[in-house]
Structure 1
Amino acid sequence: MRRVTKIAASGIATAALALSVSACGSTSNEKDKATDGSSSSAGKNGVKVGVAYDVGGRGDHSFNDSAARGMDKAKAEFGGELKELTAKTTDTEADRVQRLTDLADAGYNPIVGIGYAYANSMKQVATKYPKLTFGIVDSVVDAKNVDNIVFTEEQGSYLAGVAAALKTKSHHVGFIGGVDVPLIKKFEAGFNQGVKDTDKSIKVDNQYLSHGSDTSGFASPDKGKAAAQGMLDKGADVIYSAAGSSGNGSIEAVNGKKGTWAIGVDSDQYNIASLAKYKSSILTSVVKNVDIGVYELVKSVHDGKPKVGTNTYALADGGVSLVTSGGFIDDIQVKIDAAKKKIIDGTVKVKTTP
């Protein structure tokens, strides 16, 4: 059974700063998109859900798509309406506040922000609409009507590091982060620790595609491809990317060099249709089950018992995992399982900073 840690929403403003950095972003078409998924056959008990995606929204094959799966499952089960709005990389704080306010004024409940960028704007809007329930992924907002959906990304990334260390032939691996922010550093920290705990002699290259408020590192497959190619040229033969759609470029680069592996993120990228031509190079993926957190929030509102506070989805609960699609890690699964057990029983403490 999934263990969920609840923390009272009050008194966690400082934690919000530490955690309010999004998972791996996505692509961006530089337009604000709105799609109405309302169903005319929805019953009177349907849920009217509003979602504000990170840049790119549906179609990033990673972070946003995981959230979308949760939305789709909830809509199929409960009926009602689904309104989707998508951020731009050029968004200002005012843009994000307006996006959430528009959903609140239209009566959507719950309203879910996908990613760290919505933290400050959600606090402002949630305070103004205390009767509505809000949810945010990968951040902690100090408001009584917000469900803070967070994950132990470092734990799944540790297992990716173990896999990389066991699969590398060159004793040289790499990590590519989308944006140099605290949450993505959790991915880096876990991966590096997993590699070094397995074999200290392995070299690890770490590179970020953008920094600070520049979120283009989550939305630039060309940058991901160039970064991966640079690592491959220097001898790395396993590359893990936590960079939204930029990671798709990394996977493409790896696929172009025989004997090398890519590790995907957030979604099971081996089974993403648009990446099918590269699947022979996707060793595994660190899956972050955003869909579970989003679905449970919508269900709670449907059931009349809205989830609020901080809900942490960990390795022990299946909140994060290392997938086995393709069978490429079958030969090392026993060792990965052993590492997983050590994390769950507390023998191994995974770092959250490099």
Structure 2
Amino acid sequence: MRRRMRGVAVLAIALTGTLSLVGCAKDTGGNNASGTGGKGCQLAPKPPAAPAATSSSNAGPKVDASTLRIGLAYDIGGRGDASFNDAAAAGLDQAIAQLGVKKENTKELTASPSESEDAKQSRLRQLAGEGYNPVVTIGFAYADALAAVAPQFPNTRFAIVDGSASAPNVTPLGFAEQEGSFLAGVIAAYKSRSCVVGFVGGVNVPLIQKFQAGFEQGAKTAAPGIKVISQYISTAGDNTGFQDPTRGNVIAKGEISSGADVIYHAAGASGKGVFDAAKESGVKAIGVDSDQYNQPTVAQDKDVIISSALKRVDLAVFDYIRAVAANDLGSLPKVFDLKVDGVGYATSGGKIDDIRDVLEGYKAEIVQGRITVKDKLTG
């Protein structure tokens, strides 16, 4: 059921009791020359320089996907959310442009807020029943519906982003979100002048906790004395937290009033409210999933978006379609992580060009196994 709070005042009161403060060390001055005002955090020593990049193209032989009829079942928000769903849409668009998929042979359907499991199952049955194969489901919310529907269509290939279903015709497409979020935490630490940063999650579920865990670890690794304020828009079972910019705005303002001057969100379309709050308050923001600096629906806020933690759902969707067309699902990685550029960070706008060497150094430490990024919250 959709749960709404009555008014900003009620939500603000709730926030005071639920803010999570991590690493409440006092600002020690620091050597951060980025940003405006304040001294910034005392930064840890920079990681070793990353090794020179080498070409590792995995393009493989040319694949013709022109005969495929592809169905996409989006999570709430759908195409146009400037985040998670738009990343999936970009993968489909790339398959149309590069693999010969015909636009008229695709169908895109979108979930509604607070819909029932029956509605999700009906959507998947519709796509499979109309002959779309493969059918790609976007988001963990489809896991139960897919477990019920996939066995009913054994000759249809299904994929699910961020979930799994125990059926032989289902391919899970999973990500190391915590690794990209770690780099977002490093960015926040280097760009903060107050040595206080914030995280806004959409729904308090294990998937989004991976973003929080990585962000907090990255910020604390780069600046051990930093304070991280973390808050969620809705609780588990209430997925409206991914599509409520108003509540995202209020939560971000609460974190800003507590001193945060860089806010990172993992909240889907609710991130628009986070960006608006950052713009109004004159602080910085970090987007998620897509390169949000370049998303038209948040264009008025782009000047405060210093980066985005990329979750390459576009890459996963494109690679899956390509693998289906080539009849080679075994070529897909077990997880889309930093090693395969399945996660990363955006550089649009040039606002983090001065710390690219630092970020590449930390990335190399993770890829080479010298830093293990936690995917669960501790403590």
TM-score, with length taken from structure 1:
0.85
Q: Which blocks of at least 5 consecutive residues in structure 2 are unaligned?
A: 1-55, 59-63
Is 2:366 the counterpart of 1:349?
no
> Matches of 2:216 and 2:279 in 1, distance apart?
23
The match for 1:235 is 259
Query: Which digits, 9 at most, give the CA deviation of each residue in 1:238-294, with x for residues without a partner?
Result: 000000011111011101122x21000000011112222211101100011101111
> Matches of 2:57 and 2:139 in 1, distance apart?
22
Q: Which blocks of at least 5 consecutive residues in structure 1 are unaligned?
A: 4-42
The match for 1:269 is 292
Aligned-partner SS, 1:139: coil
The match for 2:244 is 220
The match for 1:286 is 309
Is 2:168 the counterpart of 1:148?
no
In structure 2, what residue type is equivalent to 1:200? P
Shift of 1:132: 1.0
The match for 1:64 is 85
User: Which one of the candidate residues 72, 77, 82 is aligned to 2:106?
Assistant: 82
The percentage of aligned residue pairs carrying the same residue is 45
Q: Is the 8 A contact 2:323 2:331 kept in 1?
A: no
Q: Is the 8 A contact 2:293 2:302 kept in 1?
A: yes
Shift of 1:118: 0.6
Is 2:343 the counterpart of 1:320?
yes
Shift of 1:181: 0.1
> Matches of 1:253 and 1:305 in 2, distance apart?
46
Q: Is the 8 A contact 2:65 2:100 kept in 1?
A: no
The match for 2:33 is none
**1:216–1:308 distance in 2 versus 1, CA, 3 Å:** farther
> Matches of 2:95 and 2:313 in 1, distance apart?
13
The match for 1:158 is 182
> Matches of 2:332 and 2:305 in 1, distance apart?
36
In structure 2, what residue type is equivalent to 1:295? F
TM-score, with length taken from structure 2:
0.80
Shift of 1:309: 8.4
Instruction: Give the RMSD, CA atoms, in angstroms.
Output: 1.8
Shift of 1:130: 1.2
**Max Rg structure:** 2
Q: Is the 8 A contact 1:268 1:287 kept in 2?
A: yes
Shift of 1:301: 2.3
Shift of 1:305: 3.7
Q: Is the 8 A contact 2:181 2:212 kept in 1?
A: yes
Q: Is the 8 A contact 2:91 2:317 kept in 1?
A: yes
User: Which one of the candidate residues 188, 206, 223 is aligned to 1:199?
Assistant: 223
The match for 1:170 is 194
Aligned-partner SS, 1:166: helix
Shift of 1:342: 0.7
Shift of 1:222: 0.6
Is 322-331 or 272-281 further displaced after alignment? 272-281
In structure 2, what residue type is equivalent to 1:69? A
> Matches of 2:65 and 2:354 in 1, distance apart?
51
> Matches of 1:48 and 1:296 in 2, distance apart?
16
- Written as runs of structure 1 = structure 2, the 5 A alignment for 1:95-134 is 95-134=119-158
Alignment length, in residue pairs?
314
- Written as runs of structure 1 = structure 2, the 5 A alignment for 1:19-58 is 45-58=66-79
The match for 1:331 is 354
Q: Is the 8 A contact 2:246 2:270 kept in 1?
A: yes
In structure 2, what residue type is equivalent to 1:311? K
> Matches of 2:217 and 2:118 in 1, distance apart?
39
> Matches of 2:332 and 2:67 in 1, distance apart?
24
> Matches of 1:233 and 1:148 in 2, distance apart?
40
Aligned-partner SS, 1:256: helix
> Matches of 1:335 and 1:199 in 2, distance apart?
13
In structure 2, what residue type is equivalent to 1:159? L
Q: Determine which structure has the larger strand proportion and give its number.
A: 1
> Matches of 1:257 and 1:44 in 2, distance apart?
48
> Matches of 2:57 and 2:258 in 1, distance apart?
42
Aligned-partner SS, 2:307: strand
User: Which one of the candidate residues 248, 254, 266 is aligned to 2:272?
Assistant: 248
In structure 2, what residue type is equivalent to 1:317? V
**1:312–1:169 distance in 2 versus 1, CA, 3 Å:** same
Q: Is the 8 A contact 1:301 1:307 kept in 2?
A: no
**1:49–1:283 distance in 2 versus 1, CA, 3 Å:** same
